[in-house]
Amino acid sequence: MKNDENKKLIQEFWDDFELNQEKLFSLESISTSDRNLLLKKLIKRLKLINKDLTLEIGPLHDDRRELTLSADGIEDAFPYIEEIYKNKPKFNNWIFHRFRQPIANIADFSITIDDINIKFSAVQFGLVEDEGGIVVLLFIPGYKGDISAYETIKFLTLDSCLGEYVAVKNVKYCAAYDVNGYRDKDLKPIKLLKKDFDKMYSSISKLDYL
């Protein structure tokens, strides 16, 4: 990974970002076609470094924007994200993140994949300790495991709650079910997932088998 070619590609990515950062910062002021072209070009730069890499640009908030570098949940691509992040430029109006971050007030948001819209407020969860690891059970309205969009929703829900790094590194396994088939009193609203997961992970991390 740390060869001259990758160093060159990483530098070219950031050079391209710096060249276009004013337009990227003002995304709402440019046409949809120009916006899509700009983002597509930048993502293409990332994928020259590693095919699993992508990025997300957040909304303008307090005169700052966030750029998130993501490995799309592929652990083998994590070192590339670390290397790219290490070489990030400095801008007062940009905040850079390694990996997707947990979303605050998750229950206020929703996710749409292939015309399937899920309100996070309708999602419930359970946690199971399994041989020193944590299994996350998600209960999603209408979930069907044989439909790829629902699988994408499952993993993006986990990312949105725990953050991409924790979801990949600290979750042993994630399973999903249709919430309509379960009325377990022990299920909890998704807004509590991060708090409960962090508490359980902190507890089992102290045990000898971890």
How far from 148 is each of 5, 43, 125, CA to CA, in Å?
A: 35, 23, 20
What pLDDT is recorded for position 32? 92
- DSSP class of residue 109 equals -
Is residue 210 in some structural domain? no
- Do 193 and 112 reside in the same domain of the chain? yes
* Tens-place pLDDT, residues 107-128: 999 999 999 999 999 999 999 9
- Do 189 and 162 reside in the same domain of the chain? yes
Domain that residue 121 falls in? 106-204
What pLDDT is recorded for position 207? 52
Q: CA 8 to CA 2: how far, in whole Å?
A: 10
Angle at 111 between CA 178 and CA 201, to 5 degrees: 70
**Residue that wins the pLDDT comparison between 206 and 183:** 183
The residues pairing with 130 across neighbouring beta strands, listed in sequence order, are 133
Note the maximum CA span of the chain. 56
Residue 204, pLDDT > 90, answer no
- Do 190 and 110 reside in the same domain of the chain? yes
Q: Identify the band that residue 209 occupies on the pLDDT scale cut at 50, 70 and 90.
A: very low
- DSSP class of residue 33 equals H
Range in 27-36, 82-91, 197-206 the model is least confident about:
197-206
Q: Identify the band that residue 206 occupies on the pLDDT scale cut at 50, 70 and 90.
A: low
Q: CA 51 to CA 77: how far, in whole Å?
A: 9
- Do 88 and 145 reside in the same domain of the chain? no
Is residue 177 in some structural domain? yes
What pLDDT is recorded for position 210? 36
- Do 33 and 63 reside in the same domain of the chain? yes
Which of 141, 147, 170 shows the shortest CA–CA distance to 158?
170
How confident is the prediction for the chain on average, in pLDDT?
A: 93
The residues pairing with 129 across neighbouring beta strands, listed in sequence order, are 134
The pTM of the full predicted model, rounded to 2 decimals, is: 0.88
- Do 158 and 181 reside in the same domain of the chain? yes
CB 118 within 8 A of CB 155: no
Choose one of 71, 98, 125: the last residue of a domain. 98
- Do 117 and 30 reside in the same domain of the chain? no
Name the strand (E) or helix (H) holding 151. helix 148-162
Is residue 209 in some structural domain? no
- Do 200 and 110 reside in the same domain of the chain? yes
* Tens-place pLDDT, residues 142-169: 999 999 999 999 999 999 999 999 999 9
* Tens-place pLDDT, residues 59-82: 998 999 999 999 999 999 999 999
- DSSP class of residue 90 equals -
- Do 114 and 200 reside in the same domain of the chain? yes
Residue type, 55: L
Percent of the chain with pLDDT over 70: 96
Range in 91-95, 143-147, 185-189 the model is least confident about:
185-189
Is residue 85 in some structural domain? yes
